[in-house]
Chain A
Amino acid sequence: AQTVTQSQPEMSVQEAETVTLSCTYDTSESDYYLFWYKQPPSRQMILVIRQEAYKQQNATENRFSVNFQKAAKSFSLKISDSQLGDAAMYFCAYRSAGNNDMRFGAGTRLTVKP
């Protein structure tokens, strides 16, 4: 079964600095998708960034970028120029192509210090 592991329950970063959140996953599939979702205290999950496994180029969305290492089954999220509004729970998620069951990690709570 596919599993997603986030080994950092909590992370802290100074405002304007850079932080990297880790995620590893276990799968025997070759075609899949990876996501990072943000969940602020308002509870609404917001998509931050997504990556198709067949793409070698790492996805980037403004201050957010990923380091996708397919062989190592690693999918880390880098947040540059951290802002106070980035404080939230961050979830890494995996979905196999052709499968509608999205698997989430346990989350990393990010604190941004002013």
Chain B
Amino acid sequence: DAGVTQSPTHLIKTRGQQVTLRCSPKSGHDTVSWYQQALGQGPQFIFQYYEEEERQRGNFPDRFSGHQFPNYSSELNVNALLLGDSALYLCASSLPLAGASPDTQYFGPGTRLTVL
């Protein structure tokens, strides 16, 4: 059973550039969430995609955008990169359950983005 995969593992960009990060969800999962984890901090929610639509968004500027494909994989795009965008970007997939039990999010290994 394949888990959540992310690519690339590491990425170095310069200020002002654009970047695309990719995520393949765990087999059978249809929901993908993206998080930004700055060094020494906990992850912060960027947005969540379900049925190819952005279902909810955290407190991130419009420079952060995403997409979900029919096969449930997802991309995170960041435009006009700033030094402060340097972080570990985590993707998590889940399969919402009926009833009161919370869907469990399974995380990928992350993409380390460095902006110079």
Contacts and interface: CB of A to CB of B under 8 A. Distances in A.
B88 A43 contact: yes
A43 B109 contact: yes
Interface of B: 33, 40-45, 48, 55-56, 58, 88, 90, 92, 100-102, 104-110, 112
Interface string A78-114: 0000000000000101010101111111110000000
A42 interface: yes
Nearest to B41: A106
A11 interface: no
Interface string A8-50: 0000000000000000000000000100010000111111001
Contacts of A44: 107-110
A91 B104 contact: no
Interface residues of A, number: 25
Nearest to A4: B42
Contact of A99 (B56, B92, B100, B110): B56
Contacts of B110: 43-44
Contact of A100 (B44, B48, B104, B107): B48
Nearest to B46: A101
B90 A45 contact: yes
15 contacts: A42-B109, A44-B108, A44-B109, A45-B90, A45-B92, A52-B100, A91-B42, A97-B100, A100-B33, A100-B45, A101-B45, A102-B45, A105-B42, A106-B42, A107-B42
